[in-house]
Amino acid sequence: MAFICSTGVGIPQHEITQQEIKLLVENIFTYTETELTRLLPVFDHAEINKRQFVVDKEWFKENHSFEEKNNLYQQYACKYSLEAIDNCLTNKEFLKEAIPYNAVDMIIFVSSTGIATPSIDAHILNERPFRDNICRMPLWGLGCAGGATGLSRAFDWISAHPDKTALLVCCELCGLTFQKNDNKKSNLIGTALFGDGVAAVLISGEDSPYHSFRKKVLPKIIKTSSVTKKNSLSVMGWDVTNNGLGVIFSKSIPELVHTFWSNHIHAFFQEIHVNEVGVHSFISHPGGKKVLEAMEEVLQLSEGKLANSYKVLANHGNMSSATVIYVLNEWMKEKINEKELSILSALGPGFSSELLLLEWNR
């Protein structure tokens, strides 16, 4: 088993309301009046109030090269990853005392919205007093599933090294991938949903002294499950062009929740001998309002079991891999009884599904 000790977030400084973004899109995209009337309601129906970005709204009005976007990605990925890590290791709400940087044995860095070699985790190690023999696991291309998959890989590593700790960092600067001259509907949908965000999680093994630093009832990871659907490469991902990363976002995703994800989670229920009634909360990546509604329909849930997924979507939008960690962070702030169960879930490119069973305890 692996204990989740703390979380932290790095929230970019430029906050833009959904209505401001809607007006921005009206002025930027070269749609006809008829097309605008048909397409713009997606902003009103997304259940998003505001989002945060590493650049201000004026930046989106200009054309930018892939090189310029990626340079900004590297700069701000380092800045906000360090903010999330600092918050995680010193979070007084979850920790009795701060955890030193040299206590971290593995750093897992998850991102899909920019490119860096050496990967951003190597840059981070130069900015804080981590040990020079720390293990590194950069994961790229997992998209919205990356936060859940990163936790699963941390669980695997901690299970093999129960005296160790792992630090997961999910960094997504989706705004920097904005394609000003792309009038495809998928780009408009992405513009209505995606924001920037960074989150960190510290996980420790049962033989590590650091899980005793936890000051309240928090989750531990009990079991994980991964499934990838064959021949589904076109559902979600990036179209790599000379202008950068263009979003691929299929309208079939809510339908796949009813089929592919439904099969996965019901098989997982059988494996863990629990059903939706026995689950206290679903810590689900909010891919969008329609995705959350499809999950509610599949599991016949009340909105309360997905409450923090809706809350994070409203206040931050979809931040790709980091979003599910923001949701986890919100649930960890609540008072939850020992032995309650949660399922953490996310969907991503591949098309893939990741599930984790969590149990809350001291």
The residues annotated as belonging to the active site are 144
- Give φ, ψ of 200 to 5 degrees: -135, 150
Ramachandran sector of residue 9 (left: φ over 0; alpha: ψ -120 to 50; beta: rest): beta
Locate the DSSP E strands across the chain.
2-10, 14-17, 50-53, 106-111, 135-140, 165-173, 196-205, 218-228, 236-241, 244-249, 281-284, 341-348, 352-361
Q: Which residues contact 318 (CB under 8 A, 6 or more apart)?
A: 144, 174, 193, 194, 195, 286, 287, 288
Q: Is 243 helix (H, G, I), strand (E, B) or coil?
A: coil
Among 289, 106, 305, smallest CA distance to 200 is for 106
User: Can you read off the two tokens belonging to residue 361?
Assistant: 């305890």
d(CA 227, CA 239): 23
CB 106 within 8 A of CB 167: yes
